[in-house]
């Protein structure tokens, strides 16, 4: 099972690394906005 995941990651990451990077940036921005919103509310 773990070997399958490793192989999948090696196959998947080069193709979708950029997508993941963009997703990470977007989610971190969303998280910061979320924290900011909560700091306003509380």
Map tokens 């969303």 to a residue: 30
Predicted local distance difference test score (pLDDT) of residue 14: 66
pLDDT band at 2 (very low <50, low <70, confident <90, very high): confident
**CA distance to 21, 28, 33, per residue, from 36 (Å):** 22, 12, 5
For 5-38, write each residue's pLDDT tens digit.
777 767 766 666 667 777 787 888 888 888 888 8
**CA distance to 1, 6, 11, 37, 42, per residue, from 26 (Å):** 30, 26, 23, 16, 24
């Amino acid at each position: 099972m773990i070997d399958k995941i490793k192989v999948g990651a090696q196959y998947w990451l080069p193709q979708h690394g950029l997508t993941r990077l963009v997703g990470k940036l977007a989610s971190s921005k969303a998280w910061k906005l979320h924290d900011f919103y909560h700091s306003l509310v509380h």
